[in-house]
Structure 1
């Protein structure tokens, strides 16, 4: 616009002589006055153009600064956006009532309330290297320690931390890196604090509907370790894809050893977990592992407990090995989900023995150095009424006398139902709460109401030290004096759960 006015002014000056000639009667004085007026207007326009040029230059500088700032902020935002966060919160109430094997003895807790908070994170460091982690807080209302009897009465140790209510601190529940596409092949390597709790088929009764861990839930044990895996595609639509992994972990670290005192070896896990096929809800997994140089008891998180542990358990020592195999098959027909699972365990003790009869040993009998076999069966269904946001489920499992489930990280609050030597029943209902449209893709809010009934045939559970005594045998009852094992128990729970 300014350039257009300047050109018009110059054109006006150029036409003045012609105008003067045509007019004939105009005086020279009048002509000079008009020329001076136009000159002043031209000078004013030049000044205005100069001022506007300065403004444009200053503006361009600011724009360049803004562009630089946006580029810096964009880079920072891009770096921050690499992190993905999600989590879940659960408030839970339980009623528990148990009958002892001895007549008239009763163990009960009318109500106990707990809060659990878990924060998940994942981030890619490079194209093929990803970190995943989870922090967890799990505590009972009104407590900054573990209430009596929770977690099967076992003190907090590496295999049940974050899984048994304790204090209000956030602990590292999972932390590992995955290196995928190694050498351009469908091979991966993973190392760190492993995702080894709440494995299949736990996602059905826990309401997540997505696999939450690698191993079948008979192995519910947080530990540190590594995995080397290979993925494949069957090339048949009904079979889908599969994965096979070699897994290794450490269950106990012996630390520095003193030659003058008793020594104990590290306890290690090693085995395979094989997703034979996975296609939609259809899933088949087989796993087999060994636990080597088993401890009679681990190192607990409390120095106070560790100080008195030898008085209760004796000196720490190794007892031998246990071998474990299990499998699960899951599928869905229309609205009916179902699964069937089974497990087998075999003990291989050293001279210290496994499943020892301590009463007999006090009378001079040797330790039990013979191998013992145990087994478990586990089945369940869940019917989904999506129109009502309602899911109804039922489960049953049975364990034999020498059955061992590696499940100290169980989520049953008191006793691990999959470690039951006898029968365990469960009925549950999941109701999706009408909390409005989901803001996050992780969003899920529901309540879960359930009832569990435990009917024990033999004592013990996650225990390979003491012989599983027959609870109906009168002589075995004499051997159990002072132990007060549970014969049957009812547990009712109600949860309020939000995933975000």
Structure 2
């Protein structure tokens, strides 16, 4: 358009002069070029109008999050004098993020993921991955849906309310985002929930009463119980896709549903208090004294967590303290087996409960413009069993440790480029009891002395 204006100005100025024949010819050519540019502009505008009409005036925004890591792993079973190690594990993780807002109050968000080890087999069925962990653990190069949900927000009178359904943003939640070098956390508290889930959510905002307060109510399904497959053959000639007839014994393979209530009690930009309660129906255990029935619907589980985060210590005491973040979180789990079953080694019914503390501090690195050093500590008791299927390290979930975990990391922008967030991280885990890598209610924890170490170098491209 600027070019059109410039050319028009030349033509107007030139037309007021007693020009020679050559000059007049040049003016005529300029006028023709102006007319052509105007036609091209009109066609472009018509094309854009057609696109906007077809998309309802909205577009899907795409973002890229591409991370590569080098890792060194070591495990030691000190009781049995067994050692395992891998001094060069390479992984690549690609997130393709999608977002759309077709109208005020309605948004869609999605995330497609590939998370693979270099040289991996394509679609390795031997891994036994479930849909709530497949894109959170490095395996193959198959693209999977990690997130896909919509949120509709409105008000009922003076009460703000939101409704959402789909595959929830439920990994790398509150407090876990720092160690993952993420600016913002996902929805739940990572201390008890760090796994991909499908569910429906209703959110009530209490901000008009308490600053930053809200509560979410989420109901979903983590496991679909016994049904016929896609073709529905029941072995007797009957065809009943995705269902079983009334004469079929479902046994102990029942649906595993959950009801989760995460919320924010207070947040003023500096002090943040978060909480969560989760109830699991038909959680997996085994029939009493019958190991062959592992993964049976053995009872229920309740998990609780409360966390405090402080962004900026004091009030403008120093730039260093202003940029320092401290957090502490406490959590509790209770697995309650029904009569005739056991969970975590309970005797013919009864419950087993565990607890955990997680604390950390993130400080400016004093080396780069925006880099941070982070230091974290975790402690878990013998029966501590959170839902952390999305392994937060390649040596297993340090959040779920039954023992102690120590971690240090440096988050920085490579070459000072904000699109290249990078990290150097070291994790040390001491398992005093059977490692809780699979949140397995059918495994009774026993005394152990197992250590694991992980050094990770990560470079990410985000745009």
- TM-score normalized by the length of structure 1: 0.73
**Cα distance per residue 1:122-155 (max 9 Å; x no partner):** 112332221110000000001125899xxxx973
The one-character-per-residue Cα deviations of 1:431-459 (angstroms, maximum 9, x if unpaired) are 222255xxxxxx53232111111111111
Question: Any conservation in 2 of the 1:140–1:147 contact (CA below 8 Å)?
Answer: no
From 313, 321, 330, the counterpart of 1:342 = 330
Query: Would the alpha carbon gap of residues 242 and 444 (structure 1) be closer, same or farther in structure 2, given more than 3 Å must change?
Result: farther
Instruction: Determine which structure has more spread, i.e. the larger CA radius of gyration.
Output: 1
1:77-116 Cα offsets, whole Å, 9 max, x none, are: 5847532221211111111111114332112122211000
1:267 corresponds to 2:256: yes
- 1:73 and 2:61 matched: no
Once residues 429 and 69 of structure 1 are traced to their aligned partners in structure 2, the CA distance between those partners, rounded to angstroms, is 48
Change in Cα spacing, 1:249 to 1:63, as seen in structure 2 (3 Å) is: same
Partner of 1:220: 194
> Contact 2:285 / 2:342 at 8 angstroms: preserved in 1?
no
- Partner residue of 1:487? 450
Unaligned runs of 5+ in 2: 1-27, 228-242, 314-321
Aligned to 1:249: 220
CA distance in 2, matches of 1:260, 1:195: 36
Distance 1:160 1:73, change over 3 A: same
Q: Residues of 2 paired with 1:183 and 1:60: CA distance?
A: 55
- Compared CA separation, residues 396 and 63, structure 1 to 2 (3 A): closer
1:145, 1:165 within 8 Å by CA — same for their partners in 2?
Answer: no
- Unmatched 5+ stretches in structure 1: 1-51, 298-310, 358-366, 437-442, 472-485
Does 2:368 correspond to 1:388? yes
* Cα distance in structure 1, aligned partners of 2:445 and 2:188: 29
Q: Which residue of 1 aligns with 2:447?
A: 470
Match of 2:136 in 1: 163
CA contact (8 A) 2:123 2:142 kept: no
Q: Which residue of 2 aligns with 1:426?
A: 407
* Higher share in strand: 2
> SS of the counterpart of 1:70?
helix
Distance 2:122 2:82 in 1: 26
DSSP 3-state at the match of 1:74? helix
Write the mapping of 1:12-161 to structure 2, written as runs, cut at 5 A: 67=42, 70-77=45-52, 79=55, 82-144=59-121, 155-161=128-134
Give the TM-score normalised by the residue count of structure 2: 0.78
Q: How many residues are paired up?
A: 396
Report if aligned partners of 2:284, 2:294 keep a CA contact under 8 Å in 1: no
Residues 451 and 62 (structure 1), Cα distance of their counterparts in 2 relative to 1, 3 Å cut: closer
Distance (Å, rounded) in 2 between the aligned partners of 1:407 and 1:401: 16
1:282 is matched with which residue?
271
RMSD value over aligned CA atoms? 3.0
- Structure 1, residues 246-293: CA drift from partner, whole Å, max 9, x if none? 111101112323634443321001031111122224321110010001
Q: 1:411 aligns with which of 382, 392, 399?
A: 392
How far apart, CA to CA, are the structure 1 residues paired with 2:453 and 2:408? 12
Shift in Å, 1:182: 4.3
CA shift in 2, pair 1:470/1:368, >3 Å: farther
Higher helix share: 1
Could you give the per-residue CA deviations for residues 215-271 of structure 1, whole angstroms, max 9, x where no partner exists? 334200101101101113256xxx731211111110111232363444332100103
Looking at structure 1, the residues matched to 124 and 292 of structure 2 have their Cα atoms a distance apart, in angstroms, of 21
Q: 1:230 to 1:106 in 2, by over 3 A?
A: same
Aligned counterpart in structure 1 of residue 146 of structure 2, from 173, 181, 197: 173
CA offsets 1:28-61 (integer angstroms, 9 cap, x no match): xxxxxxxxxxxxxxxxxxxxxxxx9xx99xx999
Contact 1:449 1:493 in 2 (8 A): yes
Give the conservation status (yes or no) of the 8 Å contact 1:200–1:212.
yes
Distance of aligned partners of 1:242 and 1:466 in 2 relative to their CA distance in 1, 3 Å threshold:
same
Determine the structure 1 residue equivalent to 2:20. none
For residues 179-220 of structure 1, the C-alpha deviation after alignment (integer angstroms, 9 at most, x for no partner) is 111446410000000111000101222222222333334200
Asked if the contact 1:326/1:341 (under 8 Å) is kept, the reply is yes
Residues of 2 paired with 1:387 and 1:356: CA distance? 50
Contact 1:335/1:385 (<8 A) preserved = no
Decide whether aligned partners of structure 1 residues 282 and 69 sit closer, same or farther in structure 2, where only a CA change above 3 A counts: same
Q: Find the residue that maps to 1:159 and give its secondary structure.
A: coil
Q: Take 1:212 and 1:100, find their aligned partners in 2: how far apart are those partners?
A: 34
Question: For residue 457 of structure 1, what is the aligned residue in structure 2?
Answer: 432
Q: Cα offset for 1:398?
A: 0.6
